[in-house]
Structure 1
């Protein structure tokens, strides 16, 4: 169907809602009821596993990359495009009455961002590097200056020029040769995260003829200034599986394969140590990792394994002097720091530097000549611990907000007493800070500017509280709202979480979020199991056969917030992205009447079918996260919560689902199939819209500002349901 077909059916009899929702209960916008909803064709596909048969009426929506790239679509491709375009047209028509609100939201979101902004420079090998934006341009200029008086700026990459006439454009990894003369950089113009690496002579400004296709976007330079190591991707699954050596001036077809990760449950990558002494190849999966190293002075030398892979053994490596320093979970659920001589690296030689602690998660570490800085997590919050190598002057940097985020950032200099870190909270903009580890003095180098004369962080309140889960576990909740917001059962509240892969949902500042807070919303983060907020066990209790804890935790947090009077089901909204979209699908099935609206962005919702198909990107090395459905126990458990498989004939909340046609992490057909099945079975007349960006992938639109158009759509979706028009 064509977009104007839907527009022609719009009846402009929209019920006008009160802007002052605190004075009267808003009615739901029902403009969509006068618009014909898209209908996807049904072709029954029987999927048989372990004696069980699932019937998938929308299995046909799956396309290969080859089909998507055909200049002349085949019938199946055309049917998919017709359906996605029909859903987009329906979305446009159903949300047409919010167009002015969306434009206002987009304008105010973008207006808070300084247009001629620049990053804090960092020093490396005699140069100072930074990025900057010029007003009116959507992409950054990547720049450097020599560290000397009156040094002139060099623009090493001109993002605006490179992005011209491209629907999508992203610069990936960037790396400078040791002699400072050559730049390797990666470009993606499709949004499938398959990067092409180019090389530029920074003295002449000329591009070298070398071009490396189908890469992960990262390189590591050997110290000879002509050899690089890079990772390529499997052309079907996009798994990063091979590491090659490339010598400048040769064709990619001549590159030497130096490592091939044949285990399909592992992916691999390559990086160079901060000391510039070693190059590392890392293979990793959920439960195991393995690192091998090479002296960067001898790119043709033999690679050596630090510690052979073992199941349930993970480790990561840094170098300083005569030792490798290793963060590992060996006999340490919450990880510990060990060291080992460069000459004897296997685990029997590891000596504890920071022992394991049951109540503290060691997340990261940064080594300096005289100091060690640790990124730790205690009681759900990240901390920065600093100490001398002899154990003296062991202390934590103090932070005062009830919920915050602090982490070490770019620290390339070993021989320094200065640690650079980033700090933010739900009420405090991002700050880049230099901390003197010897005197404890702090210098704020830059605080994120909010371009709004009315903004003051003192106008907002941040809270930290806990909900009790149904099994008695205490779940942290971070909240923020404007001081003059009247908290009651009529207060709109957006509850957000992720809850997978051990990725913690951090309480950081967002200029974008102000558009909700200033309109009376409470924003809440549920720090649920599946993340790592409360330590490694928090993650272990939210994966595999305990995955449902993630969903019930989120529901229990929502019910707690209602009980405590922060909101009510008539005014509560839930949002999640990617694996957080799985969370949204699960809670919409399990507790649909707890939410007035649900936003599921690029959602992973067709769990069983995706994990059954090992040709789909990310599948094989996620078996230890979700389980392998070829095992009957995991199949039955995954089937019991898979959002797509559990859609049934009942009432669902208002729902906004988003995806990208070129998404390589969650293929577009998952949210598309889910939407079609919801349309088929749901018994309510609530709004259900699918927004497919036909030009982008998992991360959404490229460029500095374009992505905020989808944010404006999401906000307008909620505000409209609240009867807020301005």
Structure 2
């Protein structure tokens, strides 16, 4: 079998006196028949090269399916006079959003629903399976219910390009209003009175830039523009405070933010800035009422690297600041969410997410404690203003997804549900731990490890190992549970996460040390982790595979160039591997916004040279043997265009690397839609990894 060979159609890219020949930029022309033909040829080649894995893919798919309770119900959440929940039904791709009336307003215990028994008074709100009929792709980007429970809005994308068509449904009749708003961004919401919808739209560079007010029952052409942000470095979002007192319009870049308030009683009023934006200062707010006074709790990083929490008067937010939680290095404050009687504070400390309850009277925070060494915990929020409980999500590498209600008055942690894992799953059969690698500059890098105990503890003898990484945008990779991962663990594969710099696991400085002109730390940290796992006897290079997606795909491409001998195979999902070309072009989606993360190579020669030194596409070498590479992308991805992995694979082919490209022709950045489709996609990737590890017959 011979791989497709992309035509070389050279163009010259010239910046800062540097001329670069790019032979494959022509693949960017998405509407060109030659481009589509090339992508289809790549898919055909990948299908042929992986045809022998079909039995293994089917086994893994059946394992995922067999461990999943396919007909199931989520834990109901309370809003107004209803309990809201979602159903899944065996054989159906999409969830079904439902609600049932609350029988006792004083009872906050969610009803125990059985998927096999009818729910009294159940109303189906949105059946994704019905809405998706006739479409290869289906995704919901907005879903909100009016406060009085009579109307629902929903935004749907059927292409994967994250442009949502917004509609409004009368829940009494089940009929949609005539209102249809095309091209919206995700996150549309009702006003508290239910008469209006607030939504955002994007500019030509896919930047959400404008907030609109739509009156239900009127034509979209008459919608009122509430706010627009002309600066291309900033994105815009909007939503109402839980108290329903204000509409908050948030404007932000990676390093700077500003928030505006509009009184919910007069949405036509001019938005007023809370704190005028200052370069490098980020803040976010939540509204509370204390002693009859409207106050704002504001998280900010002005002179506080890991953020500080203050309280100000809503009527004079630039006035006196009461420090609630002073800056504490190593405790990265992440979010504050106010309710009537207390607030929830979420933060990171020692590499783990924490949840605490803030007492308005004393400013004291009661931290919720959990027993496991590694875990992920967070508040899932409630639409109610005065609930007696906090809904929590919890999981670890070995503990399936768990829903708790934390009773604030008593401190009781009430188990509501734990994700069932069928087939006799026992958490005691698996182990998890955190170890530390040392980067080339001496920095200690945390590594999370999970394994099946019956194969022995990691380090006793070299084992196949699957190493995952991300390392950008201060995003933390949490120690969460995965049903699909069991198919690897049960075949003796150790799974590890390298929490490299550029992520947020160890606080804001950890992020700062892995961005802009320090970006190479992300890549060298990952290599250091891989070498540490080899040196400590966890694995060997011929039994080590790596994976990352999006910005983590950039990481994969970079480490393939930096340490090709360290890995047997690499999966790069929707990979940002042609980063320099993208970040040089301000007309492309999100490029200008991304300059705060990567630097501005268009106007800064030093940034240009630095990015050129690590961008995977620019640094494919002819004198090395690359690991096997599987690049997965989607034609309609608006975040990382398909052209980046397509060009990268074409360049790898020039140096005779064993590289495969799999392009979903109707999908977006998150891949295919529908749970069965997603399971098959994951089975494809895991089967390929197992084949590289020599475990295709396991």
> TM-score category by the smaller chain?
over 0.9
1:300 and 2:268 are equivalent in the alignment: yes
Relative distance call for 1:290 and 1:387 in structure 2 (3 A) is: closer
1:465 and 2:435 are equivalent in the alignment: yes
Give me the whole-angstrom Cα distance separating, in 2, the residues matched to 1:719 and 1:242: 47
Give me the whole-angstrom Cα distance separating, in 2, the residues matched to 1:393 and 1:298: 35
Give me the whole-angstrom Cα distance separating, in 2, the residues matched to 1:366 and 1:264: 29
Among residues 347, 350, 353, which one is paired with 2:324 in the alignment?
353
Structural mapping, 1:183-194, within 5 Å:
183-194=152-163
Instruction: Give structure 2 stretches of 5+ with no counterpart.
Output: 105-118
1:632 and 2:605 are equivalent in the alignment: yes
The answer (yes or no) to whether the contact 1:122–1:410 under 8 Å persists in 2 is no
Deviations 1:429-473 (A, max 9, x none): 0100011223221111010110112x1000001011111111111
Q: Higher mean Cα deviation, 644-653 or 708-717?
A: 708-717
Aligned twin of 1:483: 453
Give me the whole-angstrom Cα distance separating, in 2, the residues matched to 1:470 and 1:668: 33
Aligned twin of 2:17: 51
What is the count of residue pairs matched by the alignment? Answer: 675
Give me the whole-angstrom Cα distance separating, in 1, the residues matched to 2:475 and 2:364: 31
The answer (yes or no) to whether the contact 1:381–1:405 under 8 Å persists in 2 is yes
Aligned twin of 1:309: 277
The answer (yes or no) to whether the contact 2:542–2:693 under 8 Å persists in 1 is no
Give me the whole-angstrom Cα distance separating, in 2, the residues matched to 1:52 and 1:628: 16
Among residues 225, 232, 246, which one is paired with 2:194 in the alignment?
225
Give me the whole-angstrom Cα distance separating, in 1, the residues matched to 2:461 and 2:594: 40
Aligned twin of 2:44: 89
> What displacement does 1:47 show?
0.3
Among residues 616, 621, 629, which one is paired with 1:655 in the alignment?
629
> What displacement does 1:712 show?
1.0
Give me the whole-angstrom Cα distance separating, in 1, the residues matched to 2:259 and 2:271: 10
Structural mapping, 1:229-248, within 5 Å:
229-234=198-203, 236-248=204-216
Aligned twin of 1:263: 231
Among residues 546, 569, 575, which one is paired with 1:597 in the alignment?
569
Q: Higher mean Cα deviation, 583-592 or 169-178?
A: 169-178
Deviations 1:544-581 (A, max 9, x none): 00000000000000000111110010100110000000
Aligned twin of 2:393: 422
Aligned twin of 2:113: none
1:161 and 2:130 are equivalent in the alignment: yes
Give me the whole-angstrom Cα distance separating, in 2, the residues matched to 1:275 and 1:592: 54
The answer (yes or no) to whether the contact 2:226–2:268 under 8 Å persists in 1 is no
Among residues 132, 136, 145, which one is paired with 2:87 in the alignment?
132
> What displacement does 1:151 show?
5.1
Structural mapping, 1:416-565, within 5 Å:
416-453=387-424, 455-486=425-456, 487=458, 490-565=462-537
Give me the whole-angstrom Cα distance separating, in 1, the residues matched to 2:385 and 2:447: 38
> What displacement does 1:393 show?
6.6
The answer (yes or no) to whether the contact 1:489–1:562 under 8 Å persists in 2 is no
1:60 aligns to what SS in structure 2? helix
The answer (yes or no) to whether the contact 1:499–1:527 under 8 Å persists in 2 is yes
Aligned twin of 1:15: none
Structural mapping, 1:310-329, within 5 Å:
310-321=278-289, 322-329=294-301
User: Which TM-score applies when normalising by structure 1?
Assistant: 0.91
Relative distance call for 1:708 and 1:485 in structure 2 (3 A) is: same
The answer (yes or no) to whether the contact 1:421–1:434 under 8 Å persists in 2 is yes
Deviations 1:610-657 (A, max 9, x none): 001112111110101001112101000000000000011021001111
2:187 aligns to what SS in structure 1? strand
User: Which TM-score applies when normalising by structure 2?
Assistant: 0.95
> What displacement does 1:401 show?
1.6
1:614 and 2:586 are equivalent in the alignment: yes
Among residues 106, 117, 120, which one is paired with 2:72 in the alignment?
117
> What displacement does 1:598 show?
0.5
1:202 and 2:150 are equivalent in the alignment: no
Q: Higher mean Cα deviation, 532-541 or 125-134?
A: 125-134
